Structure 1
Amino acid sequence: MTDNTYVHRLRAGAPGKPIFFVFHGTGGDENQFFDFATRLLPEATVVSPRGDVSEYGAARFFRRTGEGVYDMADLARATEKMASYVKTLAAEHGADRIIGLGFSNGANILANVLIEKGIFDAAVLMHPLIPFKPRDNAALAGRKVLITAGERDPIAPVALTRGLADYFVGQNAEVTQEWHPGGHDIRPNEIDAVRNLLAAYA
């Protein structure tokens, strides 16, 4: 039997409201963005899974062989599992829309599910790193994508982040970018950009 479940936190929302998935960064867990998500969308169903891969004790959503070097087979496994998980919970809760937010490794699994499967109506990718050329996906047209990043991020290089934004633009998604002058840290202007994007789903 295929395992399509994760250790997670879940708060059921009001009927007919969105379901909001939040994905932690490496070493985080299901608590990292859960309270933040409930404040952003108080009436949504909020789901925060814990990554099912351990890297020296740090939870992640897929394996890597080095900094910025992905285990592509495990990324494919994780993408299929997460897509099934998201669709199952969205159906169970009767969600009208599916929203995602991820930071770092969480942004990367969210981005790859979006690239491969669509599924998410809106996605917030905070400091993502996709070190390969994604395939074209016409289903991304009209999806809302917010990418936030640091101009001196040593983990998610600027060129790759801008390349990911250009990819989504090329797929006719509605793309917004929010940058700050720092590194791999979340700044207040990023939070403001997230609030602005998600106000339409409250």
Structure 2
Amino acid sequence: MVLALKDVWDAFIMLFIVLDSIGNIPIFYSLTSGMKASERNKVFLKSVLVASALLVFFTLFGYPFFAYYNVSVADFKIAGGIILFIIGIEGIFGKIEAEMLRSEDLAIVPMATPLLAGPGSIYMVMYLNNTFGLVPTLLSILLNTIAGYIILANSSILLGKAGKNTVLVVSRIFSLFLAVLAVSFIRSGIEEALRSMGA
């Protein structure tokens, strides 16, 4: 039981870092700045639900699809680690400027994807499923759905209390953690690939 709870907690934290709901607050709030609070919260809810549905889909069907093409776990770790590293570096240096993005339905594009359910988080749920199992991964998605909506729905309060600069600093810290996590994935994937080749 203790081990199962630890798996859920570890899966939740790892996915939380990749989703970066806190770091997305300035971006999401900027994209919905012309909306009333009730309308904004509906958009936030829709974006979180759509992103979560995408993550559940890839949790259930991601590996079987790619396994058909003989893609190994080591391949995923290396490729996913590179993707996460790029996302982390972009976050650290502030390269992602979502204010420039526009869509007919902001809740889906760019908010649900790629800002929440992007390549990094899609890889992450498949990695979590392979590492911790299906139930902890699905629970981590559920908990992150709830946490993400609570954070975004209270974004105006958080921005008012902490200030935009503080939120951006927290986002940079999460991006650094993500980059470090990505390096560990790449190292682990290379080690597995070498072992599989008998090196």
TM-score tier by shorter-chain length is under 0.3
Larger Rg over CA atoms: 2
Which structure has more strand as a fraction of its residues? 1
TM score, norm. by length of structure 2? 0.27
Select the structure with the greater relative contact order (CA < 8 A; seq sep ≥ 6): 2
Which structure has more helix as a fraction of its residues? 2
TM score, norm. by length of structure 1? 0.27
